[in-house]
Amino acid sequence: MTHRILILGGTTEARQLAGKLADRADFSVTLSLAGRTESPVAQGVPVRVGGFGGVDGLATHLRDEQVDLLIDATHPYAARISANAAEAARQAGVPVLALRRPGWEPMAGDRWTLVDDVAEAARALGAVPRRVFLALGRQEVAEFEAAPQHSYLIRSVDPVEPKLAVPDATYLLARGPFPEADERRLLERHGIEAIVSKNSGGLATYGKIVAARAIGIEVVMVRRPSLPDVPSAESVDRLAAMVDHFLGPAAERGV
């Protein structure tokens, strides 16, 4: 029997999990991407791009495609997608699992200012002009037009369009991972005085946090949103084991 698995992706772990599950002859894996990145990394499995039309659309897709398991492996800040996934799975009667990457924890030497959202991060930078590194998605940097007194270094995978309506902004196109040594050189070359970041977790973008700690730069850290309470794992291997428990040979034997 072949089990149909739909993975809501957009993260490195989603791609890794899809590849790991695709090696199984009894699994048919499809990876769904929101389509926000113009040139996504090759995924290695069949890919669906674009939204579903909210909860009802996703529930209909799960039923129509006879999906046996839904996996939420989206970004830790994709709260709406995660909420839609949990509700759609409930409506369609399909089990749902989540891959939840652990967040970073502050360490000795870190200068974190914790905020609840990007708009609060812009206010937290203060009135005095500073040189700020925005390590955020391109969809969110427009919030900093409310703080035009600062000079911004903005890094994104795809170009920021339209450009920010601020007097001083530098744009850098790059895709991680970003090693600590490279991040330190970047911060020093641009004279960065503060970083705005989400607590994404993982190693690919942790270099800037380590570099900021070494130099003594403040990090305005956006807290993670609340996510649905569904069965989850913190690593690809652990989630793959959960999938096997749900759909593998042991599950079919009723173990």
Report the predicted TM-score, pTM, of the whole model to 2 decimal places.
Answer: 0.87
Q: 30: helix, coil or strand?
A: strand
Closest by alpha carbon to 9, among 30, 38, 39?
30
Number of domains observed in the structure of the chain: 2
**Does position 99 have pLDDT exceeding 50, yes or no?**
yes
Establish if 106 belongs to a structural domain.
no
Same domain? For 75 and 118 the reply is: no
The pLDDT score that the predictor gives to residue 246 is 81
**Does position 250 have pLDDT exceeding 80, yes or no?**
no
The token pair at 78 is: 């994709």
Q: What is the CATH number of the domain that holds 10?
A: 3.40.50.720
Same domain? For 212 and 120 the reply is: yes
- Per-residue pLDDT tens for 184-235? 999 999 999 999 999 999 999 999 999 999 999 999 999 999 999 999 999 9
The pLDDT score that the predictor gives to residue 253 is 40
Same domain? For 44 and 18 the reply is: yes
**115, 124 contact by CB (below 8 A):** yes
Q: What is the CATH number of the domain that holds 123?
A: 3.40.50
The pLDDT score that the predictor gives to residue 227 is 95
**148, 165 contact by CB (below 8 A):** yes
N-term to C-term CA, the chain: 17
Q: In the predicted model, what is the mean pLDDT of residues 131-150?
A: 94
Q: Residue 9 and residue 74: Cα distance in Å, rounded? A: 5
1, amino acid identity: M
Pick the more confident residue, 146 or 252: 146
Average predicted confidence (pLDDT) for the chain:
92
Q: Residue 169 and residue 188: Cα distance in Å, rounded? A: 17
Same domain? For 35 and 96 the reply is: yes
Any bridge partners for residue 124, and if so which?
none
Same domain? For 164 and 247 the reply is: no
- Per-residue pLDDT tens for 203-214? 999 999 999 999
Establish if 130 belongs to a structural domain.
yes
What burial letters (b/e) apply to 197-223, b meaning 16+ CB within 10 Å?
Answer: bbbbbbeebbbbbbbbbeeebbbbbbe
Residue with tokens 């390590």: 135
Same domain? For 140 and 210 the reply is: yes
**Does position 83 have pLDDT exceeding 60, yes or no?**
yes
- Per-residue pLDDT tens for 146-178? 999 999 999 998 899 999 999 999 999 998 899
Confidence class for position 12, pLDDT limits 50, 70, 90: confident
The pLDDT score that the predictor gives to residue 7 is 97
Owning domain of residue 166: 111-222
**Does position 255 have pLDDT exceeding 70, yes or no?**
no
Pick the more confident residue, 68 or 176: 68
Q: In the predicted model, what is the mean pLDDT of residues 66-70?
A: 97
